[in-house]
Chain A
Amino acid sequence: MENQKRVKDFADQYGPEHVVVIIGAAEGEAAGLAAETVTAGDPTFAGPLTGVSLGLCVYHICEDAVKNEVDDDVYDEQVSMMEMVLDVDEIVREMDAIRSQYCKY
Chain B
Amino acid sequence: MNSVLKGSSFVLVHSPDMLVHSGTTQTTERIVNPSSEYLSKLPKYLRSFDDVVAYLPNQVYIGSKTPDDLAAAGSTWYDKPLKGANRFGPFGEIMPQDEFYMLMQACDAFDLVRLEKAFSDDVKVRFEKHPLVDEHLLAMVSDGIDIGDIMKVVNEEHAEGIYHDDKLVGYVKKAHDIDINLSAHVIFENLASKASCTLALMHLIKVTGISKNSVEYVIDCSEEACGDMNQRGGGNMAKAAAEIAGLSGASGADIRAFCAAPAHAVIHAAALVASGTYDNVVVAAGGSTAKLGMNGKDHVKKELPVMEDVMGGFAVLISKNDGKSPEILSAFTGKHSVGSGSSPQAVITALVTDPLDKMGLKIADIDKYSPEMQNPDLTKPAGAGDVPLANYKMIAALGVKRGELDRTDINAFTEKHGMIGWAPTQGHIPSGIPYLGFARNEMMSGNIERSMIIGKGSLFLGRMTNLFDGVSFIVQKNGGARPASDAVSEDTIKRLIAQSMRELAASMGVE
Contacts and interface: CB of A to CB of B under 8 A. Distances in A.
Contact of B345 (A25, A27, A30, A81): A81
Contacts of B400: 84
B397 A26 contact: no
B393 A85 contact: yes
B344 A26 contact: no
With a 10 A CB-CB cut-off, give which of A46, A78, A82, A85 has the most chain B CB atoms: A85
Given A81-B401, A82-B344, A44 B383 contact: no
A31 to B, nearest CB: 9
Interface string B296-328: 010000000000000000000000000000000
Contacts of B33: 45-46
B390 A81 contact: no
B427 to A, nearest CB: 18
Nearest to B342: A78
A54 interface: no
A81 B344 contact: yes
A46 B37 CA distance: 12
Interface size class of B (residues with CB under 8 A): 20 to 34
B125 interface: no
Contacts of B230: none
A89 interface: no
B383 A33 contact: yes
Contact of B385 (A27, A78, A79, A84): A27
Interface in A57-105: 77-82, 84-85
B383 A81 contact: no
Nearest to B390: A85
Contact of A27 (B297, B384, B407): B384
A29 interface: yes
Interface size class of A (residues with CB under 8 A): 10 to 19
A54 to B, nearest CB: 20
A25 B390 CA distance: 12
Interface in A1-52: 25-27, 29-30, 33, 44-46
Given A78-B343, A84-B393, A84-B397, A26 B384 contact: yes
Contacts of A30: 383-385
Interface in B373-407: 383-385, 390, 393-394, 396-398, 400-401, 407
A84 B344 contact: no
Given A27-B383, A30-B383, A85 B394 contact: yes
B410 A84 contact: yes
B344 A85 contact: yes
28 contacts: A25-B383, A26-B385, A27-B383, A27-B384, A27-B385, A30-B383, A30-B384, A30-B385, A45-B36, A46-B29, A46-B33, A46-B297, A77-B343, A78-B343, A80-B345, A80-B401, A81-B343, A81-B344, A81-B394, A81-B397, A81-B398, A81-B401, A82-B397, A84-B396, A84-B400, A84-B410, A85-B393, A85-B394
Given A45-B33, A81-B344, A84-B400, 10 more contacts: A26-B384, A26-B385, A27-B385, A45-B36, A46-B29, A46-B297, A78-B345, A81-B343, A81-B397, A84-B393
Interface of B: 29, 32-33, 36, 297, 343-346, 348, 383-385, 390, 393-394, 396-398, 400-401, 407, 410
Interface of A: 25-27, 29-30, 33, 44-46, 77-82, 84-85
